[in-house]
Structure 1
Amino acid sequence: MELIVIARPTLFKEECHFVNQLFEAGLQVFHLRKENADEAGYRKIVEGILPEYHPRIALHHFHTLANDYNINRIHHTESFRKSITPNTQPQEHIWSTSIHQLSDIDCIRPYHYSFYGPVFNSLSKPGYMGVIPAGFHLNKPNSKTKLIALGGIGLNQIHQVKEMNFDGVALLGSIWNDTSKALTNFKKAQQHCLAYHQAL
């Protein structure tokens, strides 16, 4: 099961230090999403992350920065995806997007993976409620696009996501709500995902 970490929505002190720690501990993909940051803010974060980890960063905004920092992961928000012509993505990049309804799964075939959720009640956005019904099991026989569960996933929910048949989990609040425990919680989540691989 894949494990992705999404950036905390707001800038905070020593953010790059924490992100570098996560990469050093084995984080494979970090989604850089700062809804209120400008291009200079994005650039500052990328430059604070060690260059060897730049290929593991996925940019949500200011995609042209990829050309300057050896970044080959690009994320299209749902609204942006709907505004462009499908199948226009250059093959050298790894593309991701988001959906909030499973009926949209046929619209994301050109993408390598997509976030889907919120699965549970959000840990980082109060009032952002989960949409997954009890007993849910994901069935996507005709799609090669991986679906990554997002929303309200704490360490104790990872096993539930596995049972739902998702290809991976994306964590935000469970990592960043208490930055002093970010590395510890990431390692615990990593072990949960690794245990799933070993059980297969």
Structure 2
Amino acid sequence: MQKVILSNPTDFEGEIAIIEQLLMEESLIFHLRKPDKNLKQLEDFLRSISPKFYKKIVLHSHHELIKKYNLRGIHITEAIRQNMDEAVMANMIKLFRKRGLTVSFSLHTLNAIENLAFKADYVFLSPILKSISKTDYIGTFTMDELQFFFQVRKSNTPVFALGGIREENKDFLERIGFEGFVLMGSVWKPYI
């Protein structure tokens, strides 16, 4: 089962050292999501991480940095997907795929997985459980609903669980049908 760690959205003291320690895990994918950073700030943050880890990093914004750094891929958030023309997005995805980069998406409904107009290497589905980092952000799916979806779905896109996930949930999530899990609050809460 694939493990992904999503960065804390805001910076904190000692964060880079912790990120690099986490990236030592061989199969880990790290999603860099800093929504309040402009291009220069995000690039400065990225440059503070050792280049030996770049192939494990997926960007959530400022995708143009992919041209400059040897990163793993891009992640397309719901906001980007809703605000970008479909033809422009298709062209962008095609260019990234030609370079061998991964493309993933954030989705919030089961229908969105089945009706995604683009090929994805994987998608995040959220929220699955009660959030660890966001109060009043609860899961929107029943476990029966998720199990049924994974039994009858037409899409073969790998779906990763996000929202309230702890590493000890992975066996439970795999039994439901998820192929990966995304950690955020459970990783960063002790530090912030």
Quickly name the TM-score band, shorter chain normalised. 0.7 to 0.9
1:117 is aligned to 2:126: yes
- Aligned CA-pair RMSD: 1.8
Tell me, yes or no, if the aligned pair for 1:109 and 1:143 is still in contact at 8 Å: no
- Specify the code of the residue in structure 1 equivalent to 2:155: S
- What TM-score do the two structures reach when normalised by structure 1? 0.83
Tell me the distance in 1 between the aligned counterparts of 2:121 and 2:143.
27
Identity of aligned residues (%): 29
- Aligned to 2:167, which of 144, 150, 155? 155
Using the size of structure 2 for normalisation, the TM-score is 0.86
User: 1:36-65 CA deviation, whole Å, 9 max, x = no partner?
Assistant: 122222112211111111111111111111
Structure 2 equivalent of residue 19 of structure 1: 19
1: CA distance between counterparts of 2:81 and 2:161?
Answer: 19
Could you tell me which of 92, 95, 105 is aligned with 2:103?
95
Aligned partner of 1:133: which letter? Answer: T
Amino acid in the other structure paired with 1:123:
I
Give the secondary structure class of the aligned counterpart of 1:125.
Answer: coil
Counterpart CA distance in 2 for 1:64 and 1:87 is 16
Per the alignment, residue 62 of structure 2 pairs with: 62
Query: In the comparison of the two structures, how many residue pairs are matched?
Result: 180
**Which SS does the other structure have where 1:19 is aligned?**
helix
Asked whether the equivalents of residues 60 and 74 of structure 2 are also in contact (C-alpha less than 8 Å), the reply is yes
Unaligned runs of 5+ in 2: none
Alignment of 1:40-189 (within 5 A): 40-82=40-82, 83-85=84-86, 87-88=90-91, 89=93, 90=95, 91=97, 92=99, 93-105=101-113, 106-135=115-144, 136-137=146-147, 138-139=149-150, 141-179=153-191
Structure 1 runs not aligned, ≥5 long: 181-200
Q: Extract structure 1 runs of 4+ deviating beyond 3 A.
A: none
CA contact (8 A) 2:6 2:30 kept: yes
SS in 1 for 2:90: coil
CA 1:39–1:131 in structure 2 vs 1: closer, same or farther (change >3 Å)? same
